[in-house]
Amino acid sequence: MRILLIEDSSRLRQGIAKAFRCSGYAVDTAADGEEGLWLSQSNSYDAIILDIMLPKLDGLTLLKRVRENRQQTPILLLTAKDTVPDRVIGLRTGADDYLTKPFALEELLARMEALCRRAYRSSTNTVSIGPLSIDFATRRVQIHGEELKLTHREFRLIEYLARRQGAIVSRTDIESHIYDEHVDPMSNVVDATVYILRKKLNKANCPPLIHTRRGLGYIIEFLPTH
Amino acid sequence: MTGTVFFLLLVGFVVLVFLFRDEMYEQIDVNLSNTMQTLCVEVEEYIDDANWSSICDEVRELESAGILSHFWEVRKSKGHMICGSDFEGVNSSEFSAKVNVDKYHSFYLKNGKHIRTLTKRIPLKSETFLITIGADQEEFDEAMARFLIIAIITVILILFLTLILISLILKRGLRPLSAFGNHIASIEVESLNDEFDMKHFPVELHPFGNHFNTLLKRLAASFERERRINADIAHELRTPIAELRLSAETALKWPKSRDGMVDRETLAIAKQMESTVEHMLALARSEGGNLVSIPEEIQLDLLIKDCWKPFSQRSLQLQQIISVESSDLTLETDPYLLQSILRNLFENAVCYTPKGGTINISTFYNPTGELSISVTNTVSDLTTEDVEHVFERYWRKEASRAPEGNHLGLGLAIVKTFSQANGFEAKALIPQSGWFSIVLTAIRK
């Protein structure tokens, strides 16, 4: 999952980004509204965390512009403004959720998970594909009930594919959603990760689930004939 | 009030009674006097001859003719009665014992009759004789009694009506005051902006009401300021608290990710919060009138250099060009307040001067001979409109945060109030495009 964090307090920005990376997210950050708007329009994000009091372009104006561009990316407002009118304005401007500072980290993580679930129109945190079972909340993967250890990157990849099971996902999409700005988009890290993932699944006696569609991308699905 | 009215009525009643009585007596006395004159005229011719028989006959004739309808008596001065009218059983010695010569005199006889007499002395050749006439005061007494009854009833009625009227007038008159009092009692913190509508009050209360409305406005402004201060404090402390909490929760959730930076950041956040609270308290104290300036002689140039020292390193890192022009001047001022002012000015200048910009600190005498301290720096985005707001608490050009660290927008507000307490006037101006200046001018006393 790739998220965009727009927060001008450097400590908060770094702290939240660190927490989300530790939780397996790819995180892009912006320190002001203009940079945040540019990033939101340049990349595809699963969700955005947005502060209201931003330099150069305030959060509510940024939010308005994102919605005017018909971007449906789920947005959580993270702000010190906590009055009811502030919340109402924020939600009516187009935010999907509102969290005031100071906040509990677990709550922020949980709300972001909920936003991402909604983005994928899923009401649960688990997905099953054949013998493969993925719990997004606990970040656990099981095959035939046996836990499969994956790295962060591998989990992000399988999570991204599993949330879109049965749909072809292009390499570009995968790159933009699971890798943050720190990864060179020209590298073959996606192919390499798919290769490693297939190997691990095979070793765990899992039938092939990740299929290549030449020229199009990858698809994850269980074909019972195999 | 009621007692006074009652007392006045009583005094009036007594005065009226006496006036009436005196008037009545005067009528009786005039009657007696005229009768006596008539009597004296009639008996005058007989007096020289001491012809008492003729005198008595003459007087009896007058009595029979109805001219003399009073009691009468002629006696020698030494007590012997010569003749008199029928006193209806009254002992003549009793009658004569009670009369006063040449005076009007009222008295009661043993039979209960109320008599008023006039006695005239008639001097003859060898002795003196007394003629006494007396009027029955029965009618007088009846008239007085009727008058007294009417007067008492009138007084009681007047008193009763007065009490009712006073009560009604007071109630009506005090109604606006009562409404005023009720409105005051209903005022709460949330309704301080509800002014008195003076249209509903009498003109006499308008000055009172207008002053009260002014007071309410000031109270409302004061409460609003307090609310804003509390909201601002809460707002400004939320972010550092969020930072602390996030740092701690991240360290607890992922202990392996914890490093020395976390502790350094925690300390920095704590220091920042401490600075925030100190700034807020300093401003609150200065605005509450609790600042006391204790002047002493100081070397201004040394103080300026001393205050600049902590900022020089940071300024160097930002490659700012610094110029300090301060002459060897002695000034009488509170050094602690001035230090605080200067540190806030230097902090502001270093923070908001762009990298590679210029900061000029100087002291000079202005054209009117007043000592001034000026801190001027280059800026990237301040306008003339912004200058009007720079001394407002929490005002920042960018509503979020300054590029370096977290600035609350209190520094210049503190400069303003501390300057006022320390005998300086602080002014902000844009001397030319791209420059910003704060000038402190010592106010002459």
Q: To which H or E segment does residue B331 belong?
A: strand B330-333
pLDDT on residue B204: 81
Whether pLDDT at B89 is above 60: no
Whether pLDDT at A26 is above 60: yes
Report residue B229: phi and psi, to 5°.
-60, -50
Please classify residue A28 by burial: count the beta carbons closer than 10 Å to its beta carbon, then call 0-12 exposed, 13-18 middle and 19+ buried: buried
Q: Do A15 and B238 touch (CB under 8 A)?
A: no
What residue has token string 């493969």? A132
CA distance B112 to B1: 44
Q: Which two tokens stand for residue A65?
A: 């512009």
Average pLDDT on B179-205 reads: 79
Q: Do B235 and A81 touch (CB under 8 A)?
A: yes
- Which residues of chain A lie closer than 8 angstroms to B401, CB-CB? 8-9, 53, 55
A:11-50 residues touching chain B, CB 8 A cutoff = 11-12, 15-16, 18-19, 22
- Residue B99's pLDDT band, with cuts at 50, 70 and 90, is low
CA distance B350 to B358: 9
CA distance A113 to A120: 11
Q: Which of B83-97, B211-225, B282-296, B398-412 has the highest mean pLDDT?
A: B211-225
Average pLDDT on B280-305 reads: 81
Question: What length is written for chain B?
Answer: 445
Distance from CA of A53 to the nearest CA of B (A): 5
pTM confidence score? 0.58
Hey, is B169 helix, strand or coil? helix
Instruction: List the single range of A12-26, B144-158, B225-239, B320-334 with lowest mean pLDDT.
Output: B225-239
Of residues B373 and A224, which shows the higher confidence score?
Answer: B373
Query: Is residue A104 within 8 angstroms of chain B, CB to CB?
Result: yes
pLDDT on residue A76: 96
Of residues B396 and A99, which shows the higher confidence score?
Answer: A99
What residue has token string 């990298």? B355
pLDDT on residue B402: 45
Instruction: List the single range of B117-131, B237-251, B349-363 with lowest mean pLDDT.
Output: B117-131
Q: Do A9 and B238 touch (CB under 8 A)?
A: no
pLDDT on residue A226: 47
Hey, is A20 helix, strand or coil? helix
Instruction: List the single range of A57-71, B201-215, B271-285, B396-410 with lowest mean pLDDT.
Output: B396-410
CA distance B406 to B272: 8
pLDDT on residue B345: 94
- Residue A175's pLDDT band, with cuts at 50, 70 and 90, is confident
Of A9, A53, A82, the CB nearest to B243: A9
pLDDT on residue B131: 83
pLDDT on residue B197: 80
- Residue B437's pLDDT band, with cuts at 50, 70 and 90, is very high
DSSP B191: G
* Structure ipTM: 0.75
Whether pLDDT at B88 is above 70: no
CA distance B134 to B96: 11
Report residue B291: phi and psi, to 5°.
-85, 130
- Which residues of chain A lie closer than 8 angstroms to B233, CB-CB? none
- Number of alpha carbons in the 13 Å side-chain half-sphere of residue A170: 5
Of residues B439 and B235, which shows the higher confidence score?
Answer: B439
What residue has token string 């079972």? A133
Query: Is residue A105 within 8 angstroms of chain B, CB to CB?
Result: yes
Average pLDDT on A178-196 reads: 74
**B20-27: long-range contacts at Cβ-Cβ below 8 A with a sequence spacing of 24 or more?**
B20/B144, B20/B147, B21/B144, B24/B140, B24/B143, B24/B144, B25/B104, B25/B106, B25/B116, B25/B140
pLDDT on residue A28: 94
CA distance B368 to B365: 8
Q: Is the dihedral of CA B139, B140, B141, B145 positive or negative?
A: positive
The answer to whether residues A206 and A143 touch, using CB atoms and an 8 Å cutoff, is yes
Of residues B405 and A126, which shows the higher confidence score?
Answer: A126
pLDDT on residue B94: 63
Whether pLDDT at B356 is above 60: yes
Of B242, B250, B406, the CB nearest to A101: B242
Q: Which two tokens stand for residue A77?
A: 């407002």
pLDDT on residue A225: 63
Of A8, A16, A22, the CB nearest to B401: A8
Average pLDDT on B62-85 reads: 76
Of residues B329 and A57, which shows the higher confidence score?
Answer: A57
pLDDT on residue A180: 66
- Which residues of chain B lie closer than 8 angstroms to A100, CB-CB? 238
- Which residues of chain B lie closer than 8 angstroms to A22, CB-CB? 250, 253-254, 257
Average pLDDT on B77-83 reads: 73
- Residue B125's pLDDT band, with cuts at 50, 70 and 90, is low
Of residues B42 and B249, which shows the higher confidence score?
Answer: B249
pLDDT on residue B342: 93
Pairing of strands A217-220, A210-213: antiparallel
- Residue B404's pLDDT band, with cuts at 50, 70 and 90, is very low
Nearest CA-CA partner of B328 in B292, B363, B372, B279? B363
Q: To which H or E segment does residue B146 belong?
A: helix B138-186
- Which residues of chain B lie closer than 8 angstroms to A13, CB-CB? none
Return all residues near B342 (Cβ < 8 A) that are at least 6 apart: B303, B304, B307, B308, B373
| Residue in A closest to B264 by C-alpha | A11
pLDDT on residue A30: 96
First and final C-alpha spacing in chain A? 30
pLDDT in tens, A88-130: 999 999 999 999 988 999 999 999 989 888 777 766 678 888 8
Instruction: List the single range of B219-228, B259-268, B374-383, B402-411 with lowest mean pLDDT.
Output: B402-411
